[in-house]
Structure 1
C-alpha cells in the first residue's frame, strides 16, 4: 500500500510533463524565425514594404510571457483569455459559470469512478483530469471547428471586399460590408472590427486585435497585405485578389493533407479506444475478472502504467498525423 501513492504521483507527473513539453515545443519560436527570414529576403527590393510588414508582425505577436507562468497559463483552464476563447468557441456563457459546470462534472465523474472501482486515488485523478483538462479540451475542439469554418468562408469574404472596393467604397466601409453580408463565421469578426473603427481605433489596430484572438495565419496575411498597401500604395484590389487565390490554394492543400492523413487519424482512434472497449466487454461478461486491477495495489499500479502508456501512444499518434501548412 505504501507504493501506491508513489505510482500515482509518477503517473500524474508524467502526464503533466507530456502536456508541458507539447505546449512549450509547439514550433512558435521557429515560426517567428521563419517570418523574420522571409522578410529579410524581400528587404532588398522593397525595404519600405518589408519594414511595414515587420512592424505588423511585431504588433501581431505582442508581449509574450516566459517561464513557468506561460506554461501554467496554457495548462490551467482559467485565465484572462478564457472569455475570448468562449466567445470564439460560440459558447454563450460567462467564464465562472463555465468553470463551475465542469467542476460539477468533475465531482460527478469522480463519484462514479469511486462507486465503480472503489479506488479513491483513481477517482481523485479522474476528477482532477475532468476539472483541469475538460474545459480546455472542449474549447479547443469548438474553436478548431470555428476556425475551419472561418477558413472556408474567408476567401469569399475577401472577394466581397474586393467588389466593394471596386464599387468605390473606402477600406473601412468595405470592412463594414463584410461584417453585414459575410458568412456566419467571418461576419462577427468583421463586425467587431467595424465597432472598434466606430469608436476611433485605427484599422490596423482593430484588425490585429481580432488576429490575436483568432490566431489564424491566413487572417494575418490579410492584415499584412492591407498594411503594406497603405505604406507603399498601389492597387489594393489586385493585391487582395492575389491573396484570395493564394488562400484558396492553401485551403485546397490543407484539405488534401487532411484526406491523406485520414487513415492515420482513424487508426489512432481505433487503437486508442480498443483497450477501453475490451475492458468494458470483459467487465460486462465477468465483473470479478477485472476486480483485482482496481482493488489490489499491484493491479492499480498496472492500471496506472497502462493509462500512462496509452496516453503517450495517443499523444504520439496525434502528433504524427498532424501537419501544419
Structure 2
C-alpha cells in the first residue's frame, strides 16, 4: 500500500504511452489508405470513392448467410433504400426496445409487449410501403419512358440501345431500374429475363403490359413504334385516373388510420383519470384476453375500411 501512488503514476504513464501509440498507428493507417486510393485513382483502377461508411458489418456478414438475411436483402433492394440487412435488423431491434419501454411506461407492461409485436409488423410494413411508393413513382414515369423508347426506336436504334438511353435520360427510380436492366443486357442476359426481373421487382399491371409489349416486339418484330405511341397515350390516361381515385379515397384512408388511434387515446385518457387502471386490467388472464380481442377488432375494422376503399384502376 505504500507504493500505491507510484503504481498509479506508472499505470497512468503506461496508458498515455499506449494512447499515443494507438493514435499514431491510426493516423499512419489512414494516411497509407489515402495514398493507396490516390495511386489507384491515378492508375485508373478506382473510378470513385466508396459511398457512406457501412455500420454493423459483422452482423451484416453473418446475416447474409441465413435465409432470413437473403430475404431481407431482396426486399431492401426492391425499395431502393441505402441500407444493408445488418443495419436494418439493428435499427428494428433498437426501435422494438424503444417502443416496448415507452409504451410499457406510458400504459402498462402488457401493452409494451403488444407494441413490440406491432413494431415487428410495422418494420415489414415499412418495407412494403417503400416498395409500393417506389413502384408508384415508376408507374408515373412510364409515359415518359415509353415516349423515349418510341422516339429512339423510330430513329432506328435497337431496343437494347433505347433502354440504355432511357436509363441515362430518366430520373430515379426509372433511371436506376433501367440502368440495372442495361447492365444485365451488357453481361449477356437475355432481354426477356432482364425485363422479367424488372417486372418482378416492381410489380404492376402497367409495367407487365409494357414488358409484354417489348418482349413480343423483340421476338416477332412488327411496328413497335406504333405500339409504344398507343401505350403512351393509354398510360397518360390511366395516370390521371389513378390521381383522381387517390384524391377521392384520401379521406377514407385517414379514417382507417384514425380508428385505432382513437382507441389508444381512450386508453391513455382512462389511465390518466385513474392511474394504475390499465395495470389492474391487464393483471389477469381475462383482462389480457379482452385486451387482445379489443385490439383485434380495431385492427379488423381498419383492415376492412382499407379493403373496401381499395380500387384497382
Give the TM-score taking structure 2 as reference length: 0.72
Task: Decide which of 278, 285, 297 is 2:266's aligned counterpart.
Answer: 278
Task: Decide which of 130, 134, 153 is 1:142's aligned counterpart.
Answer: 130
User: Mind listing any 5+ residue stretches in structure 2 that lack a counterpart?
Assistant: 1-66
**Residue pair 1:157, 1:183 contacting (<8 A) in 2 also:** no
Q: What is the match of residue 298 of structure 2?
A: 310
**Residue pair 2:169, 2:175 contacting (<8 A) in 1 also:** yes
Counterparts in 2 of 1:263-302, with a 5 A limit?
263-288=251-276, 290-302=278-290
User: Mind listing any 5+ residue stretches in structure 1 that lack a counterpart?
Assistant: 1-76
Task: Decide which of 155, 169, 194 is 1:206's aligned counterpart.
Answer: 194
Instruction: Classify the secondary structure of the residue corresponding to 2:173.
Output: coil
Paired with 1:237 and 1:297, the residues of 2 have a C-alpha distance of 68
Q: What is the match of residue 123 of structure 1?
A: 112
**Residue pair 2:92, 2:123 contacting (<8 A) in 1 also:** yes
**Residue pair 2:108, 2:278 contacting (<8 A) in 1 also:** no
Does residue 174 in structure 1 map to residue 155 in structure 2? Answer: no
Paired with 1:100 and 1:215, the residues of 2 have a C-alpha distance of 28
Q: What is the match of residue 220 of structure 2?
A: 232
Counterparts in 2 of 1:9-48, with a 5 A limit?
none
Structure with max Cα Rg: 2
**Residue pair 1:197, 1:206 contacting (<8 A) in 2 also:** yes
Does residue 112 in structure 1 map to residue 102 in structure 2? Answer: yes
**Residue pair 1:175, 1:190 contacting (<8 A) in 2 also:** yes
**Residue pair 2:103, 2:111 contacting (<8 A) in 1 also:** yes
Q: CA deviation at 1:246?
A: 1.5
Give the TM-score taking structure 1 as reference length: 0.69
Q: What is the match of residue 78 of structure 2?
A: 88
The aligned length equals: 247
**In the superposition, relative to structure 1, how do residues 303 and 104 fare at CA in structure 2: closer, same or farther (>3 Å)?**
same
Instruction: Classify the secondary structure of the residue corresponding to 1:92.
Output: coil
Q: CA deviation at 1:209?
A: 1.3
**In the superposition, relative to structure 1, how do residues 118 and 230 fare at CA in structure 2: closer, same or farther (>3 Å)?**
closer
Q: What is the match of residue 243 of structure 1?
A: 231
Instruction: Classify the secondary structure of the residue corresponding to 1:249.
Output: helix
Q: Which has the higher contact order (CA 8 A, sep 6+)?
A: 1
Paired with 1:206 and 1:301, the residues of 2 have a C-alpha distance of 50
**Residue pair 2:135, 2:204 contacting (<8 A) in 1 also:** yes
Q: CA deviation at 1:272?
A: 3.0
Q: CA deviation at 1:195?
A: 0.3
**In the superposition, relative to structure 1, how do residues 278 and 115 fare at CA in structure 2: closer, same or farther (>3 Å)?**
closer
